[in-house]
Amino acid sequence: MSLVGPKSQSMQKRAEKVLPLGVNSNFRYWGEGLTPYVDKAKGAYLWDVDGRRFIDYRMAFGPIILGHAYDEVDAKVIEEVKNGVLFAMTGELEVEVAEMIVEMCPAIDMIRLACSGTEATMHAIRVARAFTGREIILKFEGNYHGFHDHTLWSTYAPVEAYGNRRNPIPVPASSGIPQSMGENVITLAFNDFEGFERVMRSYGDQIAAVITEPCQGNCGAIEPQAGFLELIRNKTEEYGVVFILDEVKTGFRIANGGAQEYYRIKPDLATYAKALGNGYPIAAFGGKREIMSIIGHGVSQGGTYTNNKPGVAAAYATLKLLKTKPILESIQKRGQRLMDGLKEIFEDNNIPVAMSGYPTMFSFALGVEAVTCQRDWDNSDKDAYLKLVEMAIELGVMPDHDAREPWFLCYSHTDADVDETLNVYADIVKKVKS
């Protein structure tokens, strides 16, 4: 088996005539002649257009928490869409979804729905600026908060472009982002305790919001060091800054109440998407009643598709299952066994490895002992990581092609899937080592 079959190669040539790079998101492009095209997916597996089956650890970049085409979710969506898909009015199902989110997430008093994580963080930042009357946003290098211009800074650039760690340079992640946007962005290395305290002393009374992921969801799932989130919480309270916890990836995945429950932290605002709807287009942002209540009172927020019935129905079914069944406990057990097994394989082959993240969402960096931020992660052996991924895909196991993207597990993964994955990695690690 090769990395990409002939039908995928043919599809890429066809797609490139009508889609830039032949895909609908840059993240789906793996290179000329190397980009796979999907035919279908069910449970923990997907099949490409060449008919090859893979154990899927990409899970659509994280949304699939139950499994692809999960029957109970799809049944609820089908039931609801028979009565209409979109309305210029609010329905009871939206209210019920909001009530479940408020019940499950410790810091949420009120929420608003959206269609994507990008929208959720964009709206949250607007609300934070309106609430504080300030404009500056502080974010951390390597953290991704969606594709809007306000936070697409110091996300994917080579770390040498970031400048000195003590005085980082905000780097736009794309052409087309106005340089003037950077005047309202401060960047820091993740887990930089001293740097964060210093910046807050200097600029705290000018900052509207500090936004961070609980872990670096687009940079190896690097976790916060003990006390780092608490430091953010304490200093933002001290300076009247809105603390936005971006739970687009961790929400409803690392605990039913997300990172708020896991770390016992209460931000002012939080953002959600991905696992909220098991793959359907749904997102949300919410937080303290005092802050959320300003929406509609001089603060604009909306969207034609924010209450799209497929997304709302999927969220209803997904949250109901998470509340009533030991979904995450099951995933965590298998994920922990996979993490432990991979770590043992690398150690048995005398390959330094830094495991990071959570059993439901994890990664590893090769050739290093520990990573605390993107600057550390950049020192890892990314070429070896990619080589292993490509060999694994050839054998029917599909992590993401990008070393920054975590491995995701879902409720449909089985112990047999974990066994097969560990057997594949035990074989290919020996080959790469030799």
Annotated catalytic residue 272: no
Which of the 8 DSSP states describes residue 30? -
Active site residue 358: no
**Catalytic annotation present for 274:** yes
Count of C-beta atoms within a 10 Å radius of residue 16: 15
The answer to whether the beta carbons of residues 421 and 56 sit under 8 Å apart is no
pLDDT at 328: 98
Residues 285 and 372 in one domain: no
Amino acid at 401: H
Q: Are 24 and 54 in the same domain?
A: yes
Are residues 242 and 377 both part of a single domain? no
Reported as a single tens digit per residue, the pLDDT across 181-225 is 999 999 999 999 999 999 999 999 999 999 999 999 999 999 999
Q: In terms of domains, do 239 and 311 share one? A: yes
Residue 143 sits in the same domain as residue 256:
yes
Q: Please report, as a single letter, which amino acid is at residue 15.
A: A
Residue 1 placed within a domain: no
CA-to-CA distance for 53 and 203, rounded, in angstroms? 52
Burial class (CB in 10 A: 0-12, 13-18, 19+), 203: middle
Which pLDDT belongs to residue 156?
86
Strands 269-272 and 242-246, by their bridges, are parallel
Residue 431, judged by CB atoms within 10 A of its CB (0-12, 13-18, 19+), counts as exposed
Show the beta-strand stretches assigned E in 247-406.
269-272, 283-287, 353-358, 361-366, 397-398
Asked if 210 contacts 224 with a C-beta cutoff of 8 angstroms, the reply is no
With 90 as the cut, is the pLDDT of residue 433 above it?
no
Task: Quote the CA–CA distance of 222 and 245 in Å, as a whole number.
Answer: 15
State mean pLDDT over 342-361. 98
Which position among 144, 162, 280, 316 bears the catalytic label? 144
Range of the domain at 319: 71-324
Rounded CA separation 154/142 (Å): 6
CA 400: distance to chain centroid?
Answer: 13
Please, which residues have CB within 8 angstroms of residue 329's CB and are 6 or more apart in sequence? Answer: none
| Cross-strand bridge partners of residue 68 | 43
Decide: helix, strand or coil at residue 207: strand
Q: Is residue 1 predicted with pLDDT exceeding 90?
A: no
Confidence bin at 64 (pLDDT 50/70/90): very high
Using a pLDDT cut of 70, give the percent of the chain over it: 100
In a domain, residue 275? The reply is yes
Instruction: Select from 281, 304, 324 the last residue of a domain.
Output: 324
Q: Are residues 44 and 417 in contact, defined by beta-carbon separation less than 8 angstroms?
A: yes
pLDDT value of position 63: 98
Question: How far, in Å, CA of 254 to CA of 275, rounded?
Answer: 10
Q: What angle separates helix 309-324 from helix 327-348, to the nearest 10 degrees? A: 80
Task: Report the DSSP pairing between strands 361-366 and 397-398.
Answer: unpaired
User: 157 falls in which pLDDT band (50, 70, 90)?
Assistant: confident
In total, the chain counts a number of residues equal to: 434
My answer on whether 177 and 196 are in the same domain is yes
CA atoms within 13 A on the CB side of 377: 30
pTM of the predicted protein model: 0.97
Residue type, 91: G
Average pLDDT, the chain: 97
Do residues 283 and 115 lie in contact, with contact meaning Cβ atoms separated by under 8 Å? yes
Domain boundary among 324, 346, 371: 324
User: Do 55 and 179 fall into the same domain?
Assistant: no
Residue 165 confidence (pLDDT): 93
Can you tell me the distance from the alpha carbon of 271 to that of 143, in angstroms, rounded to the nearest whole number? 14
- pLDDT digit string, tens, across residues 255-277: 999 999 999 999 999 999 999 99
Residue 155, helix vs strand vs coil: coil
Instruction: State the Cα–Cα distance between residues 361 and 62, nearest whole angstrom.
Output: 8
What's the rounded mean pLDDT across residues 113-117?
Answer: 98
Q: Which residue has the tokens 């608490």?
A: 230
**Runs of H (alpha helix) within 274-401:** 289-292, 309-324, 327-348, 374-377, 382-394
183 and 300 belong to one structural domain = yes
Domain containing residue 131: CATH number? 3.40.640.10
Query: By the 8 A CB rule, do 386 and 34 touch?
Result: no
Number of domains in the chain: 2
Rounded CA separation 64/44 (Å): 9
Same domain, 52 and 87: no
Check 50, 246, 400, 417 and give the catalytic one.
246
Of the residues 286, 308, 324, the one at which a domain ends: 324
Q: How far is CA 131 from CA 137, 177, 240, in A?
A: 13, 25, 10
Task: Report the CATH number at residue 374.
Answer: 3.90.1150.10
Q: What is the pLDDT of residues 388-423, one digit of tens each?
A: 999 999 999 999 999 999 999 999 999 999 999 999
Is residue 288 located within the same domain as residue 375? no
Three-class secondary structure of residue 302 per DSSP? coil
Nearest alpha-carbon partner for 187 in 174, 207, 205: 207
Q: Which two tokens mark 342? A: 């991979």
